[in-house]
Structure 1
Amino acid sequence: MTERSAIRHDNPLPTPPFWGSKCLEQIPLRSVAPYINRTALYKFQWGFKPKGKSPEEYREWARHEVDPLFTRLLAQSDAEGILRMQAVYGYFPARAEGDELVIYSDPSGAAERCRFPFPRQSTARRLCIADFFRPVESQEMDVAAFQLVTAGQHASDYARELFEADRYQDYLYWHGLSVEAAEGLAEYVHKRIRAELGFAREDARAIPEMIKQKYRGSRYSFGYPACPNLADQDKLLELLDAGRIGVTLGDEDQLWPEDSTSAIVVHHPEAKYFGV
């Protein structure tokens, strides 16, 4: 028998506002902008390194030198529709069976819809994502949330046009913004889910602190150690009816458009990132 972790299952279960999925077709980029990780954007996507500056000196320098570029690109995107932020997300009845998360067709649990298998840690706490849900033996039906976000195909096409025109610096700026905007949109939708499930009040007040996972539960993206099977995204796309926002699963089980991310959202208070 698999040695399971000691995750407790006496946490209160939230009541979702609906079962199934919802589409957010037109999300203003300016609504997403506060959730964009500017440290990742400025330092790692755009290459603006501190170069000997202290953290305080770097923040002051970035405020004068890089923030105006960020603001200008947001305004250009708004004016020209370059980044087209869209999302689908939803809530599904679920229970755990061993290392698998079972998704049901309705809250009665009469019919199984699909399963998501997850790996288990071989050391440490022997965690597995399935551990954070009520087991199949339980009389209670748990809830799993899934989300899928995209910056849109046009963002990728625009960046490619800049590259082909030898406008490499502009390409770097737009490609980096598209990548981090998609991540910011994932944070934005995750916060919406926490609000709809009734515990967003537990979030850190400052967004930069919140995006360091200072909130209840966790969002596990496919392709990372706790949720490594990219091919399982086909089930997520079907659950969320992803065609409504034009997202498909392409070669090597990668999402297309490329600036898209998917995740399972776990509400259990003990759920945090972990490796396997």
Structure 2
Amino acid sequence: LLSYQQAVANKPEFNWFEYTAPIPRVLGAQWLLDYPLHKLIATIDWTPFFITWDLVGKYPSIFEDATVGEAARQLFDDAQAMLEKIVNEQWLTAKAAFGFWPANQVDDDDIQLFADEHRSEPLAKLHQLRQQQQTNAGKPNLSLADFIAPLNSNVVDYIGAFVVTVDQTPGKQSTEAFEAAGDDYSSIMMKALADRLVESFAEHLHLRVRTEYWGYAEDENLGNDELIREKYRGVRPAPGYPACPDHSEKATIFKLLEAEQKLGVTLTESFAMHPAASVSGLYFSHPNSQYFGIKKIGEDQLQSLAARKGQTGPALQKWLRPLLD
């Protein structure tokens, strides 16, 4: 590992003076409280659905597989039949919270959000981690904060955040009712479809963000395979994933978006989201923004993060243990 100072010194160099950040069409938080489920079917990524059932293979070529093809086809047909009922009888409800705020990078690895365009009133701070491994010659040590213009650059920049959830509609068919009737297959199927729908909602909403709500890629025209392969400008990293492994950052996102009050999505003590079919994350629009893995960090970075978050090293260690070298 490099020292944390060395890693910071090896951040990517962007020419911020020639950069103009796209301005979101509406600033602050907004909510979509009963999103039409039928709009989420086209962007479903079916490959992970089969993995849930221990059938490995890419969709749709999995149907041609000599070993699992027939089972996959049967399962898929059952899924389509249930999906039709879920949509037509509204067994599930899709809800989203998302928003955009003026933001700048501060202290190398933090992102300061501001209440409005005057940038005089700090609203919240998102704390990021930086790759600390020795990199190949010329490769930078990345942090998500790198993709937001530094405060001292005087560039006006923005960040977005989102929470999407697909929950059982009260009074409609439920997984519990299936289980009570001894129909575990349908219960697992319903949970698996809720998972696919919420991931699809995250994809679908990000598409609308890029083309409409933030609007920096109005002319984007990608097929579903290209969406799954992330061929678009911008990223939506989720806390708990490789680029931002600190699950506790979800608390800031939830507060900004009033996710609990507006959507009924809650965080457990270990920062898991409830209902389980929920996804949260950040939106970055910079053309160079990308996904990467933090992998390992040193004690020096842990202490820096603890100081910036106003916590103690041991308290943070609990969340970041897998990263500590």
Report the TM-score when normalising by structure 1: 0.90
Among 5, 14, 17, which residue is 2:22 paired with?
A: 14
Q: Say if 2:62 and 2:72, in contact at 8 Å, map to a contact too.
A: no
Aligned twin of 1:191: 207
Cα separation, 2, equivalents of 1:132 and 1:40 = 29
Deviation at residue 65 of structure 1 after TM alignment: 3.7
Among 123, 126, 141, which residue is 2:141 paired with?
A: 126
Tell me the secondary structure at the aligned position of residue 91 of structure 2: coil
Q: Find out whether 1:174 has 2:184 as its counterpart.
A: no
Identical counterparts, % of pairs: 26
Where does 1:192-231 land on structure 2 (aligned, <5 Å)? 192-196=208-212, 197-200=214-217, 203=220, 205-231=222-248
Deviation at residue 141 of structure 1 after TM alignment: 1.8
Cα separation, 1, equivalents of 2:192 and 2:256 = 29
Aligned twin of 1:45: 52
Runs of 4+ more than 4 Å apart: 53-56, 58-64, 201-204
Q: Say if 2:104 and 2:151, in contact at 8 Å, map to a contact too.
A: yes
Tell me the secondary structure at the aligned position of residue 30 of structure 2: strand
Deviation at residue 269 of structure 1 after TM alignment: 1.1
CA deviations on 1:58-89 (whole Å, 9 max, x unpaired) are 49868964443233122211233222111011
- Are residues 12 and 211 of structure 1, via their aligned partners in 2, closer, same or farther at CA, if it must alter by over 3 Å? farther
Tell me the secondary structure at the aligned position of residue 221 of structure 1: coil
Deviation at residue 168 of structure 1 after TM alignment: 1.6
Deviation at residue 162 of structure 1 after TM alignment: 2.4
Deviation at residue 148 of structure 1 after TM alignment: 0.5
Aligned twin of 1:99: 109
- Are residues 30 and 62 of structure 1, via their aligned partners in 2, closer, same or farther at CA, if it must alter by over 3 Å? farther
Deviation at residue 101 of structure 1 after TM alignment: 0.7
RMSD: 2.7
- Are residues 232 and 153 of structure 1, via their aligned partners in 2, closer, same or farther at CA, if it must alter by over 3 Å? farther
Q: Quick check: 86-95 or 253-262, which moved more? A: 253-262
Q: AA paired with 1:150?
A: T
Cα separation, 2, equivalents of 1:249 and 1:49 = 31
Aligned twin of 2:125: 115
CA deviations on 1:237-263 (whole Å, 9 max, x unpaired) are 111121211112223111111111100
Tell me the secondary structure at the aligned position of residue 78 of structure 1: helix
Q: Quick check: 242-251 or 53-62, which moved more? A: 53-62
Q: Say if 1:7 and 1:270, in contact at 8 Å, map to a contact too.
A: no
CA deviations on 1:184-205 (whole Å, 9 max, x unpaired) are 1110111111112334356562
Cα separation, 2, equivalents of 1:178 and 1:210 = 20
Cα separation, 1, equivalents of 2:178 and 2:200 = 23
Q: Say if 1:204 and 1:215, in contact at 8 Å, map to a contact too.
A: no
Cα separation, 1, equivalents of 2:237 and 2:131 = 15
Q: AA paired with 1:133?
A: I
Q: Say if 1:46 and 1:173, in contact at 8 Å, map to a contact too.
A: no
Deviation at residue 222 of structure 1 after TM alignment: 1.0
Aligned twin of 1:70: 79
Cα separation, 1, equivalents of 2:184 and 2:47 = 21
CA deviations on 1:189-231 (whole Å, 9 max, x unpaired) are 1111111233435656211221211110111011112212222
Cα separation, 1, equivalents of 2:71 and 2:196 = 17
Q: Say if 1:220 and 1:226, in contact at 8 Å, map to a contact too.
A: yes
Q: AA paired with 2:9?
A: E
- Are residues 24 and 193 of structure 1, via their aligned partners in 2, closer, same or farther at CA, if it must alter by over 3 Å? same
Cα separation, 1, equivalents of 2:74 and 2:63 = 14
Tell me the secondary structure at the aligned position of residue 233 of structure 2: coil
Deviation at residue 54 of structure 1 after TM alignment: 6.4
Cα separation, 2, equivalents of 1:88 and 1:224 = 20
Q: Find out whether 1:28 has 2:36 as its counterpart.
A: yes
Q: Say if 1:222 and 1:229, in contact at 8 Å, map to a contact too.
A: yes
CA deviations on 1:69-123 (whole Å, 9 max, x unpaired) are 2331222112332221110111111000110011111111101111111110013
- Number of matched pairs: 274
Unaligned 5+ runs, structure 2: 295-325
Q: Quick check: 244-253 or 15-24, which moved more? A: 244-253
Cα separation, 2, equivalents of 1:23 and 1:92 = 15
